[in-house]
Amino acid sequence: MKRNLIICILSMCLSLMAFSAYAAGPLTVDIHGPGQRMVNVTLLPPRGLNGAPVPAAAAKALEELVANDLGYIPFLSLVPVETLLGGDPSKGVKGAEIDFKPFQLARVDLCVTTGWNGDYIEMRAFETFSGRRVVGKSYRDVTAHLPLVADRFCSSFLEALTGKKGFFSSPIAFVRQEGKNKEIFTVLPQGRNLKRITRLGGYNLSPDWSADGESIVFTHIGKTRHELGVYDGVNKRIRRRYKGMGNSIISPVFGPDDVLYVSLNRNGATNIYELSSSFKPGKILAKSPYIDVSPSFDRRGEKMVFTSGRAGNPHIYLLEIKTGTVRRLTRTGKYNTHPCISPDGRYVAYTHQTSQGHRIYLIDLTTGREKQLTFGPGNDEYPAFGPDGYFVAFASNRLGEYKLYLTTRHGDTPRKISTGKGAAFAPAWDTSQQR
């Protein structure tokens, strides 16, 4: 009996020590570490503020929007309030009105409260082991802007946990099949705010964003020629240029200081050119007699990755801008394309052809290690880093038709992005909000 009592006391002490260690310091998530621990979150029932009633339909809609947004974050797990011992442990929306013990027993790390007061709502997130408020926001004009409220709160919530922002408000440009044509669209990563950018007919391909997120450059292939297209998001106008660029205009991108770069075939070889402000071809980057396409720059403009056929097959290469040094990054397989370098310049995602189809691979430029991010079925292509260098968008036909999907640089389970009818591919992420 005495022995059992000692064992019980020791077990309780160990549990308390575990809780203390688990709760030590502010709760943060290192998205750039080797992996992430799961963070459990509970959304508490809405409350009326100052005696105001809770609009049941709007409150339910907002909860669903927030739950959907947080569902895109692979290290977050939603725990229903009904599963807690004793049910809802809150009497209000402030920390002093919440009993955090049931959360601690259930290993729930964070809880979210929502208070409604007619014209505005208050949303808070608390650490359950310390009672510390991590996020506190107030929003007005809620009824007409519920999705925007959900996005803004979740953005603040994610920034508090990871130190990174922009995921919920950074659109993705992509190509969508429209009958026989291909047009440029944009959409938020959670599948909202779908917008059509071009109505030019023909093939509009390879979109890329300017550093300020206000312009999109792309290739337009019409009936008679290739053209460079530049969409001005402020004035909602498109400029098209082709004179002096030759008969092939491929994979244009914005580089350092929003200088345009594009692959042109002017003298029998397709090389990557810098364009002047008047769209005139200037110096050639990484000149070779082979096909050099798909340039991608890091945020500082120190590195450019691209695809080249200089080894006999398409492979990925890295150009150090200051020195002009070029080195080959991929050596396995015979077909490696569509490279995208992370904004911080550390990682390169690309499409690698395997015996089972195309897959997304990742190279860590610091360690030289390479790993596979996606595993099909079908083909996975066109990787694009998000503004934080954590999320990776790509196109896949795993369900038959090409659609856009999200994963992370850790290779988390892909989640489909809603883009409407028609095949969707070639995503490009606006990274301006992380600058």
Claim to verify: residue 95 and residue 182 sit in the same structural domain: no
Helices (H) and strands (E) in the chain, counts: 4, 30
Q: What is the pLDDT of residue 6?
A: 44
pLDDT-based confidence at residue 7 (cuts at 50, 70, 90): very low
- Whole-number percent of the chain with pLDDT over 90: 83
Give the phi and the psi of residue 161 in degrees, each rounded to 5: -85, -40
Domain membership of residue 1 (yes or no) is no
Q: Look at the chain and report how many structural domains it folds into.
A: 2
The Cα 409–Cα 362 span in angstroms is 7
**Whether pLDDT at 33 is above 70:** no
Q: What is the pLDDT of residue 31?
A: 62
Instruction: Pick the range with the lowest mean pLDDT from 17-26, 97-106, 195-204, 295-304.
Output: 17-26
Domain membership of residue 5 (yes or no) is no
Q: What is the pLDDT of residue 15?
A: 41
- Side chain identity at 217, as an amino acid letter? V
Q: What is the pLDDT of residue 219?
A: 98
Please spell the DSSP secondary structure of 49-115, one letter per residue: STTPPP-HHHHHHHHHHHHHHHTT-TTEEE--GGGSTTS--BSSSSGGGB--HHHHHTT--EEEEEE
Q: What is the pLDDT of residue 30?
A: 66
Claim to verify: residue 180 and residue 158 sit in the same structural domain: no
pLDDT tens, residue by residue, 274-315: 999 999 999 999 888 989 999 999 999 999 999 999 999 999
The Cα 166–Cα 387 span in angstroms is 7
- List C-alpha distances in Å: 135 to 126, 131, 152, 160: 7, 12, 11, 7
pLDDT tens, residue by residue, 367-378: 999 999 999 999
Q: What is the pLDDT of residue 143?
A: 76
Whole-structure pTM value: 0.90
Measured distance between the N- and C-terminal CA atoms of the chain, rounded to whole angstroms: 64
Q: What is the pLDDT of residue 32?
A: 60
Top pLDDT among 186 and 118 is at 186
Collapsing DSSP states into helix, strand and coil, what is residue 147? Answer: helix
Domain membership of residue 108 (yes or no) is yes
Token reading at 118: 């007619």
Q: Give residue 132's domain range.
A: 32-162
CATH number of the domain encompassing residue 414: 2.120.10.30
pLDDT-based confidence at residue 141 (cuts at 50, 70, 90): confident
Nearest partner of 418 among 225, 196, 189, judged by Cα: 189
Domain membership of residue 325 (yes or no) is yes
Claim to verify: residue 346 and residue 408 sit in the same structural domain: yes
CATH number of the domain encompassing residue 108: 3.40.50.10070
**Whether pLDDT at 412 is above 70:** yes
The Cα 44–Cα 351 span in angstroms is 42
Q: What is the pLDDT of residue 286?
A: 82
- Whole-number percent of the chain with pLDDT over 70: 92
Domain membership of residue 25 (yes or no) is no
